[in-house]
Structure 1
Amino acid sequence: MARLHAALPGYEFAVDTRPVSRNPHEMLCSEADAALYLPFGPLQPEIERLPILHNTFYLIVSPEHPLTGRSTLALADLAGQQLFYEPLYQEMVDLAVVQPGLPFSAPSWHMVENYECVYNDLLAGRGMFLCPMKYPAFPAAWYLPLQLPLPDTCLLTLRDDPRPEIQRLREVFTAVYASRAKLLGEE
């Protein structure tokens, strides 16, 4: 937000963290100038879709877990495993459970309020926790990337929006997320 304020002095910004409506075009025409969105399906042609963040999901796996020591995990590796996730990531779980190649003995998915609810289970190796980034609550070695074909998070704006501030907004978001990726070593 600081970079947006610096790039567009005098403009007011409001952030709304509610999910993007089912009709992003309508939302951009009436409620917002831009939206961060994980597009699982096609978008209307009037919408410009600017990829700004490559998504990788991780599974937190303690040293006590039988799958520890791997460099990455595929869905097929998760047969019979217990996986925990927060409600915010239901869409990722929905995507995971319909992927081809999922073993007959599929993982058992459990929605929990947060990792603290299952912290002792995780420490004891009785489950894994799905998360979109590495948090300091666990050692970096406990995070294993999950091979899941997630779309990139995109900045959505109206394609033919003539306002120069919208182009500036696109530039700022691209720069901010590019520097974030460098800091996290994702490039």
Structure 2
Amino acid sequence: MTAVAAVILALAAIMVVSVGTTIVVVRMLYKRMRRSRVVARAALRTRAALSRGPQREVVGLRIRLRDTLGSGQSAVDLALGSDGPRGELPRLFRRIKNEGAVLDAQLLLLTSETDAVVLAEELPLARRRVDDVAGLVRRLRATVAGGRGDLTDDVLLALRAELDREVEALDAGVRELHALNGHDHGDMTGRKYS
């Protein structure tokens, strides 16, 4: 009996460890998924598709706000990744992002509102605030693009001029090679047969 008891005890220990490990892994995956921007964005888009009326518009505003802040973050990352001037750009975007987070919290609160009158009153204000944040991010992106655009245009013009010179030199070299090959071919033919 002691051998059977030891086997049962070992199986029970394995089962407890397996269940514990499974619980830990599932909790870790759940937390990671909740923090994932992709999952959050997909969940928000699904919620927008399933919502109706003013609730749908509020969720749509949240999606627009998140997409706008994401594009602003991309612009700031691009500006920081280049050798261009950094200045106050990251600090300004952090302020925009903080205001966007406050606005997102307000919109989240509006999604739970059931009173149609309150929604009708708050929706135009929320729409205007999202438009304001979008306008700020557009200006920020234009600033980044403008700061990089002049440099890019100058570099492209210089590259185009250099490429044109190289193509002309290559054409001249090919013509010269054909001219030399024409004379060499005739000379070689003459030498072979003489």
TM-score (norm 1): 0.26
Q: Which has the higher relative contact order, 1 or 2, with Cα contacts under 8 A spaced 6 or more apart?
A: 1
Higher alpha-carbon Rg: 2
**Higher helix proportion:** 2
TM-score (norm 2): 0.25
